[in-house]
Amino acid sequence: MKILNYDTHAHIDLYKNMRAYIDDIEKACCYTIIVTNVPKLYKKYIGEYDDYQYIRFALGLHPELAIQYKSQLSIFHEAVKTSRYIGEVGLDFAKGVDEEQIKIFEEIMKSCQHYGGKIISVHSRRAANKTIDVIGKCATNIIILHWFSGTMKELNRAIKMGYYFSVNTNMLMSKKGAEMVKRIPPDRLLLESDAPFTNTTRDRYDLDFIRLIVNMTAEILGKSEQEIRTMYSENFKKILKL
């Protein structure tokens, strides 16, 4: 059984040496979804990096930038027709509930649901319930809640909805994150770096985060590292086939 190394959520474009890191990822044969924060950047990158086998750019409009760049929704609606990967999108209520942000996310999800077949990486900081409300069952797309930080009740709701969860080193180092991993069905767990926003990726990006996540997950779930590595690999293969 071939083990697939991957990263479902990374902001590689936030590093100064973006192309060098992309070349390293390609050489390592690590399937990497590079999320974008605004649609214009997505359009730019797919034009500049069109000859890579393992790199995939995701079409995004980050919730913290959604209102400022609302004018780029027209670009999103056009690009979503052909983009299989969507992210980073979602809601962020760190500064309070924002009705305009909700409307933008509703518009994004409506567009994704219209075309279907998307793998969507979703941000939900302090907005888990409303995020789930907007997404709903979403039978035509794969939903990945990235670095989920809601309550256990909200986690259970998301699990019942059939969503996936991508976990990173910071999440697994916290007591709450470890408890969540114990509760999430093993076949819904995925890897992410969320580079450069985790302690292990703040200064540079390398694939050692995969080993760290595997080691920590194995300890949390009481399984061997090989079992966990296989689990993460098979889960990613499964969403690619759906």
Q: Check: CB of residue 47 under 8 Å from CB of residue 232.
A: no
CA distance 149 to 113: 25
Q: How confident is the model at residue 139 (pLDDT cuts 50, 70, 90)?
A: confident
- Residue 138 has what pLDDT? 79
- Per-residue pLDDT of 117-136, as tens digits, reads 999 999 999 999 999 999 99
Residue 205 pLDDT: 97
110 φ/ψ angles, rounded to the nearest 5 degrees: -60, -40
According to DSSP, residue 37 is labeled S
Tokens of 212: 């760290």
Rounded Cα distance, 236 and 189, in Å:
9
Cis peptide before 107 (omega within 30 of 0): no
- Asked whether 57 and 30 are in contact (CB, 8 A), the reply is no
CATH 3.20.20.140 fits 6-241, yes or no: yes
Inform me whether the pLDDT recorded for 137 exceeds 90. no
Query: CA–CA separation, 217 vs 173, rounded Å?
Result: 10
Tokens 């670009």 sit on residue: 75
Angle at 197 between CA 12 and CA 113, to 5 degrees: 70
For 23-34, the DSSP string reads HHHHHTT-EEEE
Q: Is the pTM of this model over 0.95?
A: yes
Return the beta strands (E) in 148-198 as ranges. Answer: 164-167, 189-191
Q: What is the pLDDT of residues 169-224, one digit of tens each?
A: 999 999 999 999 999 999 999 999 999 999 999 999 999 999 999 999 999 999 99
Task: Work out the pLDDT band at 1, boundaries 50, 70, 90.
Answer: confident
The answer to whether the CB of 12 falls within 8 A of the CB of 32 is yes
Residue 173 is predicted with a pLDDT of 97
What pLDDT is stored for residue 113 in this prediction?
Answer: 96
- Structure tokens, 113: 């649901």
Tens-place pLDDT, residues 13-67: 999 999 999 999 999 999 999 999 999 999 999 999 989 999 999 999 999 999 9
CA separation, residue 8 to residues 96, 131, 214 (Å): 28, 19, 15
Residue among 58, 103, 50 at smallest CA distance from 80: 58
Split at pLDDT 50, 70, 90, the class of 242 is confident
* Average pLDDT value for the chain: 97
User: Identity (one letter) of the amino acid at 46?
Assistant: I
pLDDT, one tens digit per residue, over 91-116 is 999 999 999 999 999 999 999 999 99
Of 78, 69, 74, 79, the residue nearest 100 (C-alpha):
69
